C-alpha cells in the first residue's frame, strides 16, 4: 500500500519549478492533501487526546496520556502495583468499568477505521488526479 507521504515527497519541488496548468494541477493535489489532513485531525484528535470526547471540553490544566479514555484499563489488570487495591473480577465496579472500556475501545477503533478510509480515499484521489495529469503532458 502506498503511503501518502511517499506519494507527495517530490510534489513541493515540482510545484516550485512548475508554471501554468501544471502548477494549477499541483495546487489541486495540495488542496486534496490538506482536506484529508483536516479530516484526520477532526476524527483522531478527540479519541487520541480528549477524555471528554468530540463535543466536550477537557480542562486545560490536565495533560492527558494518549488515548485518555482507555487509561482506567490499569484498574482491570494487576492494579496492586499501581494502587492500594485490586478490583475483584466478580464485582459490579469491575464489570461496569469493563463495559465502559469496551465502549471506549469501540470508539477508538471506529475512529481509526474512519481515518484509514480518509487516507485511502485521499491516496486514491491523488493518484487518479496524478495519472490524469501525466496523460495530459
Digitized pLDDT (tens) for each residue of the chain, 137 residues in all? 456 666 666 777 788 888 888 888 888 888 988 999 999 999 998 888 887 777 777 776 565 677 888 877 765 665 544 444 566 778 888 888 888 889 999 999 999 999 999 999 988 887 766 555 553 44
Which residues lie below 8 Å from residue 129, measured CB to CB, with a gap of 6+?
25, 28, 29, 32
b/e per residue 98-115 (b: at least 16 CB within 10 A): beebeebeebbeebeebb
| Look-up of cell digits 461496569 | 96
pTM over 0.85: no
What DSSP state is assigned to residue 64? P
Amino acid at each position: 500500500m502506498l503511503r501518502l507521504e511517499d506519494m507527495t515527497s517530490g510534489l513541493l519541488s515540482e510545484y516550485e519549478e512548475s508554471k501554468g496548468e501544471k502548477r494549477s494541477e499541483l495546487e489541486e493535489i495540495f488542496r486534496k492533501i490538506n482536506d484529508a489532513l483536516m479530516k484526520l485531525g477532526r476524527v483522531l484528535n478527540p479519541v487520541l487526546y480528549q477524555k471528554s470526547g468530540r463535543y466536550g471540553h477537557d480542562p486545560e490544566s490536565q495533560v492527558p496520556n494518549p488515548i485518555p479514555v482507555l487509561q482506567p484499563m490499569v484498574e482491570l489488570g494487576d492494579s496492586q502495583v499501581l494502587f492500594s487495591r485490586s478490583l475483584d473480577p466478580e464485582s459490579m465496579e469491575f464489570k461496569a468499568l469493563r463495559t465502559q472500556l469496551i465502549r471506549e475501545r469501540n470508539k477508538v477503533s471506529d475512529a481509526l477505521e474512519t481515518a484509514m478510509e480518509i487516507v485511502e480515499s485521499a491516496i486514491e484521489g491523488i493518484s487518479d488526479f496524478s495519472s490524469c495529469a501525466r496523460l495530459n503532458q
